[in-house]
Amino acid sequence: MSPTPPGGTTLKVDPNLAAALSYLGGVVTGVGFLILEKQNRYVRFHAMQSTITFLLVLVADLMLMGLGVIGWMLNVPFILSVVVLWVFLMFKAMNGVQYKLPYVGDWAEQHLG
């Protein structure tokens, strides 16, 4: 967890806002910011972490749905947990904190080079 590094963005928006927005639409906005943002590593980190996190969420949700009634019952607390995580990550990014999720944050940094 480190503060936002100085510097602008390719998109000419505040880096904290761009990082928070990379979580807004999950995989879609994560990939979008990875494609559009070329210079700011802080924004790119959050975009990569968003992409990986919400791809994993999608896979886990599909696996739960395959479990029948038990999966459907477990899906409600799972989705509520995902919403809490989503808001938390957007809050951290908006406040300039490069919060790394366990495993996923390291993986995101690795993929950025």
**Residue-level pLDDT at 76:** 92
**Residue-level pLDDT at 68:** 87
pTM of the model: 0.88
**Residue-level pLDDT at 111:** 86
Kindly tell me the burial class for residue 27, based on how many C-beta atoms sit within 10 Å of its own C-beta (0-12, 13-18, 19 or more): middle
Mean pLDDT, each 10-residue run in order, the chain (113 residues): 62 91 95 92 95 96 90 92 97 94 93 82
**Residue-level pLDDT at 43:** 94
